[in-house]
Amino acid sequence: MSGNLQFNKIMAAGLTAALVIVVARVGVDALYHTEPPAKPGYAVEVAEAEAGGGAAAVELDPDWGTVLPTADLAAGEKVFGKCVSCHNVDPANANMTGPGLWGVVGRATAGHAGFAYSDGMKAHAAEAPTWTYDQLYHFLGNPAKWVKGTKMGFAGIKKPEERIALIAYLHSKGSTGYPIPAPDPSRQPGAAPAAAGAAPAQPAPKEGAVATPPTGSTAGGPLPTGSASASAAPAAAQ
């Protein structure tokens, strides 16, 4: 009989302890309960830190006169593999979901015949009428951010070396008449950022070559693409 009472006491003590824990937890939750804000705060874009810590340095546009002659065309062709579902780079230059990209470097923005460009790309063409190297570089990094209203759903190529290789590859496909500018010391690593409003470096014309004047654009230009899907390649602007 005493054994049964001892067991009952142990069980009662265990249940009491469990009850105390549950009540305490409910009380703490009620005391420190917070409601999420009805309206989220503003999203703030923060520059990525450099490898090894510290604030990231301001990224200079590539020195095309230095990087293009040594660019890896095979690597650029590999990057273009992300684009082939919506674009081709054959001499026939047929349009697919996006416009044909043969000769796109130095071509008029939103100017490929037979392609229905988005209103956003047409508006961008008024500001940047030529697919210069800089325009392509920035557009390929983030199409939707560089050309507001583009139909191109591609997220962009984040690695600068991949964008440079891709632009070099596209230049080799029907755009070799568009000159490569001379090396620009102001764009070399460690150079001070150019003063606001400074004229961008432009390709130096080759003898007998007629380059499209990049009025209103920088030394590089965005690509003309069609309504590409989220998996579409970054090589054209819509």
Per-domain boundaries in the chain = 67-179+216-238
The CATH homologous superfamily for domain 67-179+216-238 is Cytochrome c-like domain (1.10.760.10)
Backbone angles phi, psi at 19, to 5 degrees: -65, -40
pTM, to two decimals: 0.61
pLDDT band at 194 (very low <50, low <70, confident <90, very high): low
Give whichever of 25-34, 144-153, 191-200, 219-228 has the largest mean pLDDT. 144-153
| Residue keyed to tokens 């043969």 | 102
For position 1, what pLDDT does the model report?
52
Residue 51 has pLDDT above 80, yes or no: no
CB atoms within 10 A of CB 3: 7
Structural Rg of the chain based on CA atoms: 29
pLDDT tops 50 at residue 183: yes
In angstroms, the CA 59 to CA 47 distance is 11
What count of other Cβ atoms lies within 10 Å of the Cβ of residue 183? Answer: 14
CA distance 234 to 238: 10
Output the six-digit token pair for 206.
């080759």
For residue 145, the model assigns a pLDDT of: 93
Neighbours of 94 (CB within 10 A): 12
Between 107-116, 125-134, 197-206, the lowest mean confidence (pLDDT) is in 197-206
Distances (CA, A) of 80 to 119, 150, 157, 162: 25, 20, 11, 10
- pLDDT computed for residue 171 by the predictor: 98
pLDDT band at 71 (very low <50, low <70, confident <90, very high): very high
